[in-house]
């Protein structure tokens, strides 16, 4: 089976310097253009994908709709593909606003420090594993539209590879045979 993991396009929080995570933001016009370009590239892969699955967050759903329409296949919201809630109570806040409201978290290391409401790294890893397990059960070629954090964690867990960039609209195509996972192609994702 083949799995194509796609990162959503540019979203409004990218322009307003807001913390993302589980906060819900729309795609920008640029983000829509990015996904339109990615959808054309995906269509040219000549893989017979049967469905598009996506995170429930707006930026991923809007991205998935563009791909689903281009490929002419159904779209399904897949809650396991949601981004990591890395920012907890800071999610959705402008970074200056966050410093005013929560000065005690002004200089935290988002990757390692505690923030109330933050999803633990271990829990996020378990969710990525569960997502992959459920997708494998489908035993069909699937497009998964998700987020940069989810994509990077997938590479870490299943390929033991650290990504250096997961660009807006970037994607990676994988061949999955039992426990063997091979990267066939990547566009906008560097590792």
**106: Cβ contacts below 8 Å, ≥ 6 apart:** 98, 99
**β-pairing verdict for 2-7 and 165-177:** antiparallel
Residues 6+ apart with CB under 8 A from 97: none
78-90 core/surface letters (b: 16 or more CB in 10 A; e: else): bebbbbbbbbbbb
Query: Which residue among 65, 83, 119, 147 is the active-site one?
Result: 83
List of residues 6+ apart from 179 with CB closer than 8 A: none
Task: Point out the catalytic residue in the list 8, 65, 119, 147.
Answer: 8
Contacts of 88 (CB under 8 A, 6+ apart): 21, 115, 116, 117, 118, 119
Task: Based on the residue annotation, tell me whether 83 is a catalytic residue of this protein.
Answer: yes
173, 184 Cβ separation under 8 angstroms: yes
Q: What's 157's DSSP letter? A: I
List active site positions. 8, 83
């Amino acid at each position: 089976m083949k799995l194509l993991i796609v990162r959503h396009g540019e979203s409004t929080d990218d322009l307003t310097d807001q913390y993302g995570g589980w906060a819900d933001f729309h795609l920008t016009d640029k983000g829509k253009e990015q996904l339109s370009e990615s959808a054309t590239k995906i269509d040219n892969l000549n893989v017979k994908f049967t469905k598009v699955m996506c995170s429930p967050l707006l930026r991923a759903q809007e991205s998935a709709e563009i791909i689903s329409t281009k490929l002419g296949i159904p779209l399904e919201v897949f809650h396991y593909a949601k981004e990591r809630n890395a920012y907890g109570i800071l999610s959705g806040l402008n970074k200056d606003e966050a410093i005013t409201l929560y000065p005690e978290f002004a200089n935290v290391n988002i990757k390692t420090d505690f923030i109330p409401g933050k999803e633990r790294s271990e829990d996020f890893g378990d969710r990525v594993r569960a997502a992959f397990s459920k997708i494998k059960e489908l035993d069909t070629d699937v497009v998964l539209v998700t987020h940069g954090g989810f994509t990077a964690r997938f590479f870490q867990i299943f390929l033991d590879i650290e990504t250096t960039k997961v660009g807006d609209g970037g994607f990676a195509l994988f061949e999955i045979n039992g426990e063997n996972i091979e990267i066939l192609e990547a566009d906008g994702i560097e590792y």
